[in-house]
Amino acid sequence: MRVVPFHRPLFGEEEIAAVTAALRSGWWTSGPRVLEFERRCADRLGGGEALAVASGTDALELMLRAQGIGPGDEVITVALTFVATVEVILRVGARAVLVDVEEASGCIDPDAVAAAIGPRTRAILAVHLGGRPCRMRDLEALARARGLLLLDDAAHAFETVSDLGKVGAVGDGSAFSFYANKNLACGEGGLLRLADPEARARARLMRLHGMDRDAHARGDGRGYRGYDIVMPGMKANMADLVAALGLAQLDRLDAMTERRRAIVARYDQALAGLEQLEPPDRPATGHAWHLYAPRVRAGGADDRDALIDALARRGIGCSVHYRPLHLMTGLAPRLDRPVGSLPRSESIGARSFSLPLHPALADDEVEQVVEALEAALRERRR
Ligand SMILES: Cc1ncc(COP(=O)(O)O)c(C=O)c1O
């Protein structure tokens, strides 16, 4: 039986040549390729500056630290997300206040945010789940009215367009991930956008130990003379070897996005005939289609897991995005949200599953997924 993996990277001779050239150049850490990668990402996101970092998690942490968010502060976000979203809030010493998501989109509910704002709230951290945009217009109005920062975890959302504009060009800050399975991928990597020039300058320094001159700048003839540590920082810079891969993947991004859309159209068509499943909802503006996550209409996690097992028996690799974070044993004591307190997140977390959706999928693999889904659901009905 042929296996259709949940993810497989798409690359060719261009990526191999780009990484080989970086290797041969002798410049392996942050250098000219990182600068070019930042420039090209910023251009795609509407101009200005972007900071390339070592991971999406680092981009998130740097975004909070550069805004001075720390002990005594609260950040409002969701439980239906990857652990990094909440982990960084805890790591900087702030409190993560979790609110529920909207039923249809699985994205943060602006009304729930409004109800959770208190005197210590500093920021809203929205997550564009699976590349589906949050209601940024409503969130921004709320943030402006209440004097809060509007930040987004845009790990799934390179190329997402919200009702306020392109993700990365709206709000006060966006953190992107280029982890191996993301829409734009370079193995491990991330990108940070900050609207405030002072926060951006702080993030630039903090990205590399708070050092006022990075290795590339030290190559300008002055060497190590006069370098200073102007604030405590992180070790979060991107390497040129990684940026080389990112640059080659950027060249393919439009074609990869188009391929994702074609696969989504085929899955939509198949799901129209499968009444046991609820298809993903449609935003009015651009979905980046990082994930395609239908929901099982009836039943709970056991039914969903049985369906994933039935698909696995037919060679199809699926995933779950996400088991809500307030249910995780190591986080629950710090999140103060008992089971049952975020019902929509819990219901979606129990009923949704993500099908393979990556541009390397061939047409016959997509058909294998569809046939496996139809067969597994027939089996479930019996
Ligand atoms: C929603 C979300 N936020 C943050 C991250 C962290 O990104 P990275 O793995 O690049 O650190 C991920 C990565 O999977 C993610 O899915």
CATH code: domain of residue 267 = 3.90.1150.10
Same domain, 62 and 196: yes
- Whether 258 shows a pLDDT value over 70: the answer reads yes
The verdict on residue 3 lying in a domain is no
Q: Is 166 a catalytic residue?
A: no
Q: What does pLDDT average to over the chain?
A: 96
pLDDT value, residue 328? 98
CATH number of the domain that residue 203 is part of: 3.40.640.10
Q: Look at the chain and report how many structural domains it folds into.
A: 2
- Of 96, 100, 105, 56, nearest to 76 by C-alpha is 96
| Interval 364-371 mean pLDDT | 98
Q: Which atom of ligand 1 is nearest to the CA of 60?
A: 4
Tell me how far the alpha carbon of residue 12 lies from the centroid of ligand 1, in angstroms.
Answer: 25
| 152 Cβ inside 6 Å of ligand 1 | no
| 139 Cβ inside 6 Å of ligand 1 | no
| Interval 291-309 mean pLDDT | 93
The verdict on residue 6 lying in a domain is no
| 157 Cβ inside 6 Å of ligand 1 | no
Of the residues 221, 249, 277, which one is the last residue of a structural domain?
249
The verdict on residue 2 lying in a domain is no
Range of weakest confidence among 71-85, 94-108, 213-227: 213-227
The verdict on residue 5 lying in a domain is no
Which of the following is catalytic: 182, 200, 204, 326?
182
The verdict on residue 204 lying in a domain is yes
Residue of the nearest CA to atom 16 in ligand 1?
82
236 vs 31: CA distance, rounded Å:
14
Q: Which atom of ligand 1 is nearest to the CA of 153?
A: 3
Same domain, 234 and 257: no
What DSSP designation does 134 have?
P
Same domain, 261 and 218: no
The verdict on residue 165 lying in a domain is yes
pLDDT value, residue 212? 87
Sign, CA dihedral 176-293-265-4, equals positive
What DSSP designation does 76 have?
E
| Interval 343-348 mean pLDDT | 98
* Count of all residues that appear for the chain in the document: 382
Pairing of strands 190-194, 51-53: antiparallel
- How open is the CA angle 57-61-62, to the nearest 5 degrees? 115
pLDDT value, residue 299? 80
Provide CB contacts within 8 A for 381, sequence distance 6+: 276
| 155 Cβ inside 6 Å of ligand 1 | yes
- Helix axis angle, 240-271 relative to 363-381, nearest 10°? 50
Same domain, 260 and 122: no
Same domain, 29 and 167: yes
> Strands of 51-53's sheet, edge to edge?
51-53, 190-194, 173-177, 149-153, 121-127, 74-78, 95-99
306 vs 293: CA distance, rounded Å:
16
9 vs 22: CA distance, rounded Å:
20
What DSSP designation does 96 have?
E
Could you check whether the bond before residue 224 is cis, i.e. omega within 30 degrees of 0? Answer: no
Same domain, 65 and 84: yes
| 158 Cβ inside 6 Å of ligand 1 | no
The verdict on residue 137 lying in a domain is yes
Same domain, 273 and 220: no
| 347 Cβ inside 6 Å of ligand 1 | no
- Of 101, 103, 104, 105, nearest to 116 by C-alpha is 101
Same domain, 235 and 259: no
Its domain, for residue 309, covers 252-381
Of the residues 225, 249, 273, which one is the last residue of a structural domain?
249
- How open is the CA angle 184-38-254, to the nearest 5 degrees? 35
Tally Cβ neighbours within 10 Å of residue 336: 12
Q: Give per-residue pLDDT as tens, 195-232.
A: 999 999 999 999 999 998 776 666 666 666 678 999 99
Q: Which atom of ligand 1 is nearest to the CA of 127?
A: 1
- Whether 378 shows a pLDDT value over 70: the answer reads yes
| 372 Cβ inside 6 Å of ligand 1 | no
Same domain, 186 and 316: no
| 176 Cβ inside 6 Å of ligand 1 | no
Mutating to test ligand 1, I would choose from 55, 86, 128, 179 the residue with most ligand atoms within 8 A of its C-beta, which is: 179
130: amino acid identity, one letter:
G
Mutating to test ligand 1, I would choose from 153, 158, 177, 320 the residue with most ligand atoms within 8 A of its C-beta, which is: 177
Q: What pTM did the predictor assign?
A: 0.97
Of the residues 195, 223, 249, which one is the last residue of a structural domain?
249
Evaluate whether 92 touches 70 at the Cβ level (below 8 Å). Answer: yes
Tell me how far the alpha carbon of residue 98 lies from the centroid of ligand 1, in angstroms.
Answer: 18
The verdict on residue 7 lying in a domain is no
Tell me how far the alpha carbon of residue 64 lies from the centroid of ligand 1, in angstroms.
Answer: 15
Provide CB contacts within 8 A for 75, sequence distance 6+: 64, 69, 89, 94, 95, 96, 97, 121, 122, 123, 124, 125, 151
Same domain, 228 and 274: no
376: amino acid identity, one letter:
A
| 56 Cβ inside 6 Å of ligand 1 | yes
pLDDT value, residue 361? 98
| Interval 335-348 mean pLDDT | 97
22 vs 347: CA distance, rounded Å:
47
24 vs 36: CA distance, rounded Å:
18
Q: Which helix (H) or strand (E) holds 259?
A: helix 240-271
Same domain, 221 and 313: no
215 alpha-carbon distance from chain centroid: 29
Same domain, 173 and 288: no
41 vs 191: CA distance, rounded Å:
8
Q: Which atom of ligand 1 is nearest to the CA of 190?
A: 10
Tell me how far the alpha carbon of residue 315 lies from the centroid of ligand 1, in angstroms.
Answer: 26
